[in-house]
A and B are shown apart, each in its own frame.
Chain A
Amino acid sequence: EAGVVQSPRYKIIEKKQPVAFWCNPISGHNTLYWYRQNLGQGPELLIRYENEEAVDDSQLPKDRFSAERLKGVDSTLKIQPAELGDSAVYLCASSLVLNTEAFFGQGTRLTVV
C-alpha cells in the first residue's frame, strides 16, 4: 500500500513569490493534516481536515496561507506571498479517523530567499 505522497520534495523561491504543495493521503484515510516543522523542532499543526471540511485551522496564518481538500482526498497548501520566515519543512499526514495513528509523507522542504 502506498504511503502519504507529497510533492515537490524541495522548493526554492524568492520572497513574495507564491508556492503550492500537494499531498495525496493514504487511501481511505478521512483525516488529513498539514504540519510545519522548523529545524530542530517538532511538527506544528497548520490545518486539519475531516474529509473535505477544515475542522481545525486556528494556527494557519490566513493572511497568506490557504488550503483545500477537494473531494475529501488530495489536498493543496498554498502560500502567497512567501516570506523568509516561511522556510521550513511542510509535512502532510493522514489517519483513518481522528486520534488514530497518523502517517506522514516525506515532506516538502521550502527555502525562501
Chain B
Amino acid sequence: QKEVEQDPGPLSVPEGAIVSLNCTYSNSAFQYFMWYRQYSRKGPELLMYTYSSGNKEDGRFTAQVDKSSKYISLFIRDSQPSDSATYLCAMSAMGTGNQFYFGTGTSLTVIP
C-alpha cells in the first residue's frame, strides 16, 4: 500500500464550478500537509500548508485535514481556466528523518 493515495483524474469542470480534490493516507503520524499546483513543464508551486487537523482558507482555496479519517481535501471555489494544472498533495510526519510523501497528482481542466 502506498503512503499517499490520490485519484489521478483527469477532472474536467466548467468555469465557475467548485472543485474538490482529495488524498487519503495510511500513516497516522503525518502532521504536515501541503497542496502543490504544477503547470505543465514547471516545478510544483506551493498553494497551501497546514499543520495537524482543521481548515485553512486562502482566497478561493480551502484546505481541510481530517486526521481521524486520514483524509485531506483541497477546495477551489469559482474555478478559473488558469486553475487548469496538476494538483499534488504532500505530507510528512514530525521530527527528523521524515520526508515528504507525495500523491501522484490530479489533473484538472477548467473549461471556459
21 A-B pairs with CB atoms under 8 Å apart are A4-B43, A6-B43, A41-B105, A42-B6, A42-B104, A42-B105, A43-B102, A44-B102, A56-B99, A91-B43, A91-B44, A99-B31, A99-B32, A99-B95, A99-B98, A101-B34, A101-B49, A102-B90, A104-B36, A104-B43, A104-B46
Interface membership of A11, Cβ < 8 A: no
Bound CA–CA A17/B95 (angstroms): 38
Taking beta carbons and an 8 Å cutoff, which residues of B are in contact with A? 4, 6, 8, 31-32, 34, 36, 41-46, 49, 88, 90, 92, 94-100, 102-105
**Binding-face segment, A62-70, A76-84, A105-113:** A105-113
Contacting residues of chain A (85-113) with chain B, CB-CB under 8 angstroms: 91, 98-107, 109
Interface membership of A29, Cβ < 8 A: no
Bound CA–CA A107/B43 (angstroms): 6
Q: Is A102 a contact of B46 with CB atoms below 8 Å?
A: yes
Identify which of B34, B46, B97 contacts A55 (C-beta below 8 A): B97
Q: Is B104 a contact of A45 with CB atoms below 8 Å?
A: no
Bound CA–CA A50/B98 (angstroms): 12
Q: Please, which residues of chain A bring their CB within 8 A of the CB of B46?
A: 101-104
Bound CA–CA A56/B101 (angstroms): 14
Q: Is A42 a contact of B103 with CB atoms below 8 Å?
A: yes
Give A65 Cβ to nearest chain B Cβ, in Å: 16
